[in-house]
A = this chain, B = another copy of it.
Amino acid sequence: MTAALFTALAAEFGPRFSTSQALRDQHGGGEAWHKAAPPDAVIHVHSTEEVASILRQCHAAGVPVIPFGAGTSLEGQLGALKGGISVDLTQMDRVLRVSAQDLDCTVQAGVTREALNTHLRDQGLFFPIDPGANATLGGMAATRASGTNAVRYGTMREVVLSLKVVLPDGQIITTASRARKSSAGYDLTRLFVGSEGTFGIITEVTLRLFGIPQAISAAVCHFDDIDAAVAAATMVTQFGIPVARMELMDRGLIRMVNAASGLSLPEADTLAFEFHGSDAGVAEQAEQVAEIVADCGGKGFEAATDADARNRLWKARHNAWYAVVGTRIGAKGWSSDVCVPVSELAGAVRVARDLLADCPIPAAILGHVGDGNFHVVFALDVTDPAEIAAVKAINAGLVAHAIAVGGTCTGEHGVGTGKIGYLADEYDPAALQLMAALKHAVDPKGIMNPGKILA
């Protein structure tokens, strides 16, 4: 069956169908420590109809399909655990439509967030969701990604208006109209956002956009200890100050970021802010935050509107993952991803510090603290089982505490294979059974990205 399928697909896609070992290896894993599991073949697609053709044939043959974007996922979402075909969407990279009037756009799934923003810049618009990596918008929708701007602009859950999706049997659907809001039946858009390729393949994404603010300023300030930094961040959130970004970086990370990005930030536990609004609004926000920061013992707060300095700062922040992983030759990254109610953030970060106290593996704490979401990023020697076990234990401790205080095991990285075990701690058994029933309803043959999200 598979041989006939591969012959047919090879004929249909020519050189865009490949079984080369290098390509398969590259498509079998993400950016993190999880062991890669190469697919049997890779196809670079150019259209929704091509995806539909592949799925029709794979559905008939019962062959697994794994959608592939930028390959930057962090929880083992890309491994071909049961073999099958990796459908690479990176060549579907056209921005199909931008409406400045409606503040929305439609892009093919392979457009990256940076490419979209480059495309938008001269129209005075931007797209705010920004995971560290330059991910594709299809992948970001599939992972329910967020990033540094989520505290102000939301996550992929909020900004996706509609999706074009190829269902497991090859049928093509549009999940919703372009209207800003709708009560027209079940929320198919949110069904696919965060489904990590297990329900079908997203081929087009319709997104909300935002006007580039009239004024933007940034500020960095440092603290004697991380508790004081978290306290300041929590207070900013609770006062409802509409910061666009509020990021925590511990002193270890600052050292690594300085080294990796050629910056010279003071090596201290740090909060970085960005303010969006009118000239007056931005000044007002900065003033309010300055006062809170000072009350919490923060130092060196200074709002700066210089775009170059600001861009360097955020570029360094986006590259934090690479800065940590780069501290150790041959290391792989591992990131925890808990998210807790804001009132529990200080406690959760203390738990992280306690768990890290005797950890010899290079690690840094950073986070989107306005959302209660933070990461511990490790640079891991994956050839050392003791290191893997140590990080696993720390991760488990972080997750157990987060769930105990009303939080989640993953704020933005998704489940993949890495978090499957924790879902049983986070959800009622009946809720997991419901998820399994949904999976069975949408993909009864189980061909879509098998072994992810649910065991």
Contact = CB atoms under 8 A, between A and B. Distances in A.
A141 to B, nearest CB: 11
A211 B194 contact: no
Contacts of A280: 280-281, 284
Contacts of A419: 184
A36 to B, nearest CB: 21
Contacts of A417: none
A183 B435 contact: no
Contacts of A278: 281, 284
B343 A184 contact: no
A167 interface: yes
Given A167-B434, A430-B167, A434-B167, A371 B180 contact: yes
A431 B175 contact: yes
A159 to B, nearest CB: 11
Interface of A: 99-104, 143-146, 150, 154-155, 157-158, 167, 171-188, 190-191, 193-195, 210-211, 234, 237-240, 277-278, 280-281, 284, 337, 339-343, 371-373, 402-403, 406-415, 419, 422-423, 426-428, 430-431, 433-435, 437-442, 453-454
A232 to B, nearest CB: 14
Q: Report how many copies the assembly holds.
A: 2
B101 A180 contact: no
B193 A187 contact: yes
Contacts of A433: 171
Contact of A181 (B102, B155, B238): B155
For the complex of A and B, list the 3 residue pairs with the smallest distance between their C-beta atoms, beginning with the closest.
A190-B190, A441-B441, A182-B408
